[in-house]
């Protein structure tokens, strides 16, 4: 009788042990944060911009399915569509924990819409995922910031009613320049631009730390560097390949915004590596 | 839809005649709020957003009773009422549309709290004799000097109320009226914040520090620059 009970309990024990191990893993302190998502067209001219726009569409679908909210902060349209650059704020539950796996260089191989002779081109777009932060995380000296607006010069005040509320912010020490045009209130644009700047600075510090951490671990899940090629999307083969885990997915799945399987695979791989790391450390002591 | 296209075309026509976009749309954003904006009221400028934030950061008193002189669309008083704890606001203007719009915007933003926290009434600065005294007086009075009026662009000159813009020869007419009224309106130690023409901070300081003006009972505290580097704001105190 006891023997039968043991047979029942054993698999449960194993499962609970596995769950416990995962709960004991060091957590990424940024996992529950909202993010600034930035997509920048890379090599490939106007086709790269179109691809950046395609990526944005995919993320929008995913964000909607997750029940998150998104707001575009700034964008520069591409010559034939899409974006040279687009920044979007994404808010919701545990956004960073999932979206962080999209950071890196995405490569596309297809015949561009603008291509008249049917040749396949390879273009890239870079996705940056920056956890949102506040003054506690990042200290910015007001003296380091130069703000300019479209309206610089001229009388101002009651004399003028120009609704150009765009704000251009330059962080002198790092040279980071941020333009914010989204809101109809200048002060709100200034706030948003500051938020973006803080996210970028925080992200820079984070990235450095994470790269060191992953290099130490000899991680295959990637160094998290923004110049790392993480995926290739091949239109002819209808395939999406993730280079970090050497897995392929149907392209249609990706284009439908159904990227959860890829993200879950990355999370699992990351957990496996962390578990191995933990085991090695334990063995060494 | 056809109606939407027609509506859009009509609005475009109005804009081509330089009508302010805020009037065409009937509303615009001020800080975190979307407010109704009606002709011929002054469309709030970004500098006024700065004025409000300056006051919010400088005011620690609670409860605090505020007077908004020349309230227009009401944005100054309403934002302060929303952002400061336990603040009540009286607002005055000589333009009936201002009173209507301010009270409407107050309901939009303050909701049920409007009843006991915000009231706009028709009155001029010269004639206003309130039944209470205030801790803070704030104003974005008409401050453009007469001669500068003709340099204004069409969208301002032809559409926004001249009464809301022109402050007389040196632009200081309404400002002077307000300053003279401060001892009647304020509690001792009361503060007055104003948005002004860049020529004014110096004029105001000279006037108040002149020995002949001592009986005015108002002290010049400081002037502040706006985002564009213009001396745009003054802070005064009542003895």
Q: What is the per-residue pLDDT across A257-275, written as a single tens digit (0 to 9) for each? A: 999 999 999 999 888 888 8
Provide the terminal-to-terminal Cα distance of chain A, rounded to the nearest Å.
40
pLDDT of residue B65: 97
- Average pLDDT of the segment spanning A157-182: 84
Average pLDDT, chain B: 93
Q: Rounded to 5, what percent of chain A is helix, strand, coil?
A: 40, 25, 30
What distance in Å separates residue B186's CA from the closest CA in chain A? 26
Query: Could you tell me the pLDDT band of residue A153, with boundaries at 50, 70 and 90?
Result: low
Q: B227 CB near a chain A CB, below 8 Å?
A: yes
- Average pLDDT of the segment spanning B72-77: 97
DSSP B94: S
- The predicted-structure confidence for A227-240, as pLDDT tens digits, reads as follows 788 999 999 999 99
The edge-to-edge listing of strands for the beta sheet with B186-195 is: B118-122, B87-93, B64-69, B134-139, B186-195, B231-238, B218-225
The answer to whether the Cβ–Cβ distance between B29 and A183 falls below 8 Å is: yes
pLDDT of residue A218: 66
The answer to whether the Cβ–Cβ distance between A163 and B21 falls below 8 Å is: yes
Strand, helix or coil at B172? coil
Query: Could you tell me the pLDDT band of residue A222, with boundaries at 50, 70 and 90?
Result: low
Name the pTM for this structure: 0.69
Residue A285 scores a pLDDT above 70: no
A-chain residues near B152 (CB < 8 A) = 159-160
B219 C-beta neighbours (distance < 10 Å), count: 15
Q: B234 CB near a chain A CB, below 8 Å?
A: no
Contact A205, A212 (CB under 8 A): no
pLDDT of residue A1: 66
pLDDT of residue A5: 78
| Window A:138-157, CB contacts with B under 8 Å | 147, 149, 151-153, 155-157
- Average pLDDT of the segment spanning B120-149: 95
**Using CA atoms, how far apart are residues B218 and A231, in angstroms rounded to an integer?**
69
Q: Which residue would you say has higher pLDDT here, A281 or B181?
A: B181
Query: Could you tell me the pLDDT band of residue A223, with boundaries at 50, 70 and 90?
Result: very low
- The predicted-structure confidence for A19-28, as pLDDT tens digits, reads as follows 887 777 777 8
User: Could you give the angle at which helices A260-284 and A2-24 cross, rounded to 10 degrees?
Assistant: 100
Query: Could you tell me the pLDDT band of residue A40, with boundaries at 50, 70 and 90?
Result: very high
Q: A163 CB near a chain B CB, below 8 Å?
A: yes
Nearest to A156 among B21, B160, B226 (CB): B226
Share of chain A above pLDDT 70, in %: 94
CA angle A76, A82, A87 (to 5 degrees): 45
Query: Could you tell me the pLDDT band of residue A109, with boundaries at 50, 70 and 90?
Result: very high
- The predicted-structure confidence for B45-68, as pLDDT tens digits, reads as follows 989 999 999 999 999 998 999 999
DSSP B138: E
B-chain residues near A156 (CB < 8 A) = 45, 47, 226, 228, 230, 232
């Amino acid at each position: 009788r006891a023997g039968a009970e043991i047979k029942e309990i054993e698999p449960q024990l194993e499962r609970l042990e596995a769950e416990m191990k995962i709960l004991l893993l060091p957590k990424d302190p940024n996992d529950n944060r909202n993010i600034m998502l930035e997509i920048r067209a890379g090599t490939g001219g106007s086709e790269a911009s179109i691809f950046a726009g395609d990526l944005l569409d995919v993320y929008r679908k995913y964000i909607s399915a997750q029940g998150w909210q998104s707001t575009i902060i700034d964008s520069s349209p591409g010559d034939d569509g899409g974006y040279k650059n687009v920044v979007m704020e994404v808010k919701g539950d545990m956004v960073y924990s999932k979206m962080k796996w999209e950071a890196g260089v995405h490569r596309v191989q297809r015949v561009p819409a603008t291509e008249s002779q049917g040749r396949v081109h390879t273009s890239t777009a870079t996705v940056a995922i920056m956890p949102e932060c506040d003054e506690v995380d990042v200290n910015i000296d007001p003296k380091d910031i130069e703000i300019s607006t479209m309206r610089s010069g001229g009388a101002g005040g009651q004399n003028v009613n120009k609704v150009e509320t765009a704000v251009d912010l330059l962080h002198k020490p790092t040279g980071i320049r941020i333009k914010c045009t989204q809101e109809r209130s200048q002060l709100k644009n200034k706030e948003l631009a500051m938020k973006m700047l803080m996210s970028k600075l925080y992200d820079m510090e984070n990235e450095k730390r994470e790269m060191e951490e992953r290099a130490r671990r000899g991680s295959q899940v990637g160094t998290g560097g923004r110049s790392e090629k993480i995926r290739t999307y091949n239109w002819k083969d209808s395939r999406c390949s993730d280079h970090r885990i050497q897995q392929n997915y149907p392209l249609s799945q990706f284009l439908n915004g159904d990227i959860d399987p890829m993200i879950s695979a990355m999370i699992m791989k990351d957990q496996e590596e962390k578990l191995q790391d933990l085991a090695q450390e334990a063995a060494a002591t | 839809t056809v109606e939407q296209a027609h509506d859009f075309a009509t609005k475009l026509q109005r804009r081509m005649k330089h009508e302010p976009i805020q009037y065409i749309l009937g509303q615009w954003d001020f800080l975190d709020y979307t407010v109704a904006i009606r002709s011929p009221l002054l469309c709030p400028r970004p500098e006024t957003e700065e004025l409000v934030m300056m006051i919010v950061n400088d005011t620690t008193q609670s409860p605090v009773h505020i007077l908004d002189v020349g309230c227009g669309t009401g944005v100054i008083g309403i934002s302060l009422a929303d952002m400061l704890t336990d603040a009540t606001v009286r607002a005055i203007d000589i333009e009936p549309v201002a009173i209507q719009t301010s009270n409407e915007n107050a309901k939009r933003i303050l909701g049920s709290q409007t009843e006991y926290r915000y009231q706009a009434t028709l009155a001029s600065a010269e004639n206003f004799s309130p039944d209470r005294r205030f801790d803070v007086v704030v104003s974005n009075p008409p401050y453009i000097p007469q001669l500068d009026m003709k340099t204004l662009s069409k969208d301002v000159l032809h559409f926004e109320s001249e009464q809301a813009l022109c402050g007389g020869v040196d632009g200081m007419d309404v400002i002077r009226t307000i300053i003279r009224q401060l001892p009647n309106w304020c509690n001792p130690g009361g503060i007055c914040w104003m948005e002004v023409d860049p020529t004014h901070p110096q004029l105001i300081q000279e006037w108040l520090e002149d020995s002949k003006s001592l009986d005015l009972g108002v002290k010049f505290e400081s002037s502040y620059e706006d985002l564009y580097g213009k001396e745009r704001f003054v802070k005064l105190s009542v003895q």
